[in-house]
Amino acid sequence: MLMFLNVIEDKVLRSRLEEAYHLYKKELLYLAHDILKDYHEAEDVVQTAFIKFADYLDEKMDIKCHKTKGLIVIIVRNLSINIYNNRKNRVAVNIDELSEVIYDEGDICPEINILRLDQSQEMAKNLSQINGRYADILTLKYTYEYSNVEIASLLSIQETNVRKRLSRAKKALKKITEEGENV
């Protein structure tokens, strides 16, 4: 399984990828298998995801952080969906949303932590009501702060598609928040 890591010459990067692989491989294989219904394809997707993830891994990134896990999950999910769609010639597949987003707060006072947690819970609730692809795009753009070019590379889509999905996602999110305010 770890043969794909042998092509990476940087020993530090290789060991960090290996650590992440051992930490998350079961969940990622389960996720990919749940979408593809094929264990061998799921293994290929997880390996491809880690190769893509290597481009974004730096020495500051904490491997055990929920953001790191979320990033890898998004990559695996999108690679799996792309393969599934290519195999079945379908346009869209419904996928469960990511679980609640929790932020690392550091040295911020408790009141701000509570407000941010409340806001993140509200945002997670709103994101769960829109299309999964749109939620992924918003998460990558505003939580992980990736550029449109980087998002296009991560999701294996064109940059124009990223911009279009961002536009649609913002409209959908705006509609949901306006409906919530009117209630």
Q: What is the DSSP string of the chain?
A: -GGGGGG---HHHHHHHHHHHHHHHHHHHHHHHHHHS-HHHHHHHHHHHHHHHHTT--TTS-TTSHHHHHHHHHHHHHHHHHHHHHHHT-S----PPPPPP-----S--HHHHHHHHHHHHHHHHHHTTS-HHHHHHHIIIIIS---HHHHHHHHTS-HHHHHHHHHHHHHHHHHHHHHHHH-
Predicted confidence band of residue 160 (pLDDT cuts 50, 70, 90): very high
Predicted confidence band of residue 33 (pLDDT cuts 50, 70, 90): very high
Instruction: State residue 2's pLDDT score.
Output: 56
Predicted confidence band of residue 76 (pLDDT cuts 50, 70, 90): very high
Instruction: State residue 75's pLDDT score.
Output: 92
CA pair distance 53, 75, nearest whole angstrom? 8
Query: Which position has the higher pLDDT, 95 or 179?
Result: 179
What value does the mean pLDDT of the chain take? 78
pLDDT of 102 above 60: no
| Torsion region of 89: left, alpha or beta (phi above 0 gives left; psi -120 to 50 gives alpha) | left
Angle between helix 159-182 and 148-155 (nearest 10): 100
Q: Mean of the pLDDT values across residues 108-119?
A: 65
Tokens of 175: 């509609």
Q: Is 15 helix (H, G, I), strand (E, B) or coil?
A: helix
CA pair distance 154, 55, nearest whole angstrom? 9
Q: Mean of the pLDDT values across residues 81-103?
A: 57
Q: Mean of the pLDDT values across residues 6-21?
A: 77
Q: Mean of the pLDDT values across residues 111-123?
A: 67
pLDDT (tens digit per residue) in 128-140? 788 888 888 888 8
pLDDT of 153 above 90: no
Q: Is 134 helix (H, G, I), strand (E, B) or coil?
A: helix
CA pair distance 99, 128, nearest whole angstrom? 9
pLDDT of 104 above 70: no
